[in-house]
Amino acid sequence: MSTTRSEALLARGQNLIPGGVNSPVRAFRSVGGTPRFIARAQGARLFDVDGNEFIDYIGSWGPMLIGHRHPDILAAIEKALTIGTSFGAPTELELELAEEIIDAVPSMEMLRLVNSGTEATMSALRVARGFTGRDLTIKFEGCYHGHVDSLLVKAGSGMATLGIADTQGVPKGFSDTTIALPYNSVEALEVAFAERGDQIAAVILEPVVGNMGCVIPTPEFLKALQTLTQKHGALLIFDEVMTGFLLARGGAQELFGIRPDLSTFGKVIGGGLPIGAYGGRRDVMSKVAPVGPIYQAGTLSGNPLAVSAGLAMLRHIKTHPEIYPYLEKITARLCEAPPPGVTVNRVGSMFTMFFTETPVTDYETAKTSDTARFGKFFHHLLSEGVYFAPSQFEAGFVSAAHTEEDIERTRGAIQRFFA
């Protein structure tokens, strides 16, 4: 498999952009080798600049729920182009997207559109602090909520991939406002609230984790989150940037029957264009400028291109509810009967094959994985035309464009690694 052009582009990129990539996980640093520069994508396929074809299990880290270049999305973007790309003034399209999100997610009584998941979580946190008048946040080790200064504490995703425990550049004063606890630990949560409950503005979590690899909350953990936040007057924030509209039309909160105070979204709601959203309780969101004293703004927030693509995506999901049982079926088949030494965690179309015998329930158990062997597995799959996430500490994603034949081909490639 030639990587000549990718190697040349990487060399050229190194002088222009840190690592030649615009997001660290793309650099293949934890799996080694040359990151593939992508020429184009279609459906469940990626095509790199050397003409190699891959079955894609990244899906742009979530947005490509219905596959690359879906005709509904392309048509919506083309239509949007006829009216303009950004006005810096309100449009009816933004109201329609807000209505679609609110219709799908009952806890979202009011919301604000932004341009990334990071903006969404940063804003939700500021609103929680402003609403409660408190400064502290609880997050969980291995969860990643975007590169918000105060949340880059024991974070997952690229930080876990690169083994960066705590990034440089975040003032101690910021990270001191964050309490990082083990995911799924009811006891740690109880102790934190017992000690500092009246200072805690919010608890933020990935309701199904993707960013330490896929990790699933226990019912006891979810119950404790609800009980303790309510008891102490803290807000419960579900970061559904990855899980929103991906695991179900109503996100993880629909699966678990939980109504968080605030939720954040991104990825799928933009249909592959830059977008984010935060929202929830009306009494909380009514504190946001211009109606309230908590400020948040954005030049391209609600721009017609991203909103049109997002609307097309959410309308497709609403009119094609069969995508979720299909995704459940083919992803379950992909993950069926894992090889010895591999622990698989999966919810819907989100999955991770951990190279450990240990059940993975938090960051500590995720880190028992043999990342060197995962790197060899990743490159074996790549050589067979299968593109998994280039990190043990990320989730993979199956799309509605994947066929049963794609799944069988992928299973064959996996089995040949262990043969």
Q: Examine residue 117 and tell whether it contacts ligand KE4 (CB under 6 A).
A: yes
Q: Examine residue 262 and tell whether it contacts ligand KE4 (CB under 6 A).
A: no
Q: Examine residue 36 and tell whether it contacts ligand KE4 (CB under 6 A).
A: no
Q: Is 226 exposed, middle or buried (0-12, 13-18, 19+ CB in 10 A)?
A: middle
Nearest residue (CB) to ligand KE4, 94 versus 394: 394
Query: What's the min distance (Å) between Cβ of 120 and ligand KE4?
Result: 7
Indicate if 103 belongs to the active site: no
Contact criterion met (CB below 8 Å) for 272 and 308: no
Nearest residue (CB) to ligand KE4, 239 versus 261: 239
Q: Examine residue 185 and tell whether it contacts ligand KE4 (CB under 6 A).
A: no
Q: Which residue has the tokens 């069969």?
A: 322
Q: What is the DSSP letter of 357?
A: S
| Residue selected from 34, 52, 107, 118 as contacting ligand KE4 according to rule CB under 6 A | 118
**From CA 320, how far away is CA 46, in angstroms rounded?**
24
Q: Examine residue 390 and tell whether it contacts ligand KE4 (CB under 6 A).
A: no
Indicate if 50 belongs to the active site: no
Nearest residue (CB) to ligand KE4, 43 versus 396: 396
Q: Examine residue 158 and tell whether it contacts ligand KE4 (CB under 6 A).
A: yes
Contact criterion met (CB below 8 Å) for 123 and 112: yes
Q: Which of 214, 208, 211, 258 is nearest to 236 (CA)?
A: 258
Q: Which of 57, 144, 278, 363 is catalytic?
A: 144
Q: Which of 267, 278, 324, 367 is catalytic?
A: 267
**From CA 168, how far away is CA 1, in angstroms rounded?**
38
What one-character-per-residue DSSP string does 86-130 give?
A: --SS--HHHHHHHHHHHHH-TT-SEEEEESSHHHHHHHHHHHHHH
Q: Which of 254, 267, 291, 302 is nearest to 112 (CA)?
A: 302
> How many other C-beta atoms are found inside a 10 Å radius of the C-beta of residue 1?
13
| Residue selected from 116, 123, 137, 352 as contacting ligand KE4 according to rule CB under 6 A | 116
| Residue selected from 121, 345, 365, 399 as contacting ligand KE4 according to rule CB under 6 A | 121
| Residue selected from 28, 37, 57, 61 as contacting ligand KE4 according to rule CB under 6 A | 61
- Tell me, rounded to whole angstroms, the distance of Cα 49 from its chain centroid: 26
260 cis-preceded (ω within 30 degrees of 0): no
Contact criterion met (CB below 8 Å) for 94 and 113: yes
Q: Examine residue 100 and tell whether it contacts ligand KE4 (CB under 6 A).
A: no
Site map (CB under 6 A) of ligand KE4, residues 342-381, x = contact:
----------------------------------------
Nearest residue (CB) to ligand KE4, 355 versus 393: 393
Nearest residue (CB) to ligand KE4, 143 versus 224: 143
Options 101-109, 162-170, 194-202, 235-243: segment touching ligand KE4 (CB under 6 A): 235-243
Question: Which parts of 268-328 are beta strand (E)?
Answer: 276-280
Indicate if 144 belongs to the active site: yes
**From CA 235, how far away is CA 132, in angstroms rounded?**
8
Q: Examine residue 266 and tell whether it contacts ligand KE4 (CB under 6 A).
A: yes
Nearest residue (CB) to ligand KE4, 105 versus 193: 105
- Tell me, rounded to whole angstroms, the distance of Cα 259 from its chain centroid: 19
Query: What's the min distance (Å) between Cβ of 82 and ligand KE4?
Result: 27
**From CA 152, how far away is CA 175, in angstroms rounded?**
8
Q: What is the CA radius of gyration of the chain?
A: 21
Fill in the amino acid letter for 34.
T
| Residue selected from 211, 343, 392, 410 as contacting ligand KE4 according to rule CB under 6 A | 211
Q: Examine residue 241 and tell whether it contacts ligand KE4 (CB under 6 A).
A: yes
Query: What's the min distance (Å) between Cβ of 363 and ligand KE4?
Result: 14
Contacts with ligand KE4, residue ranges (CB under 6 A): 23, 25, 61, 116-118, 121, 144-146, 157-158, 206, 210-211, 239, 241-242, 266, 394
Provide the annotated active-site residues: 144, 239, 267
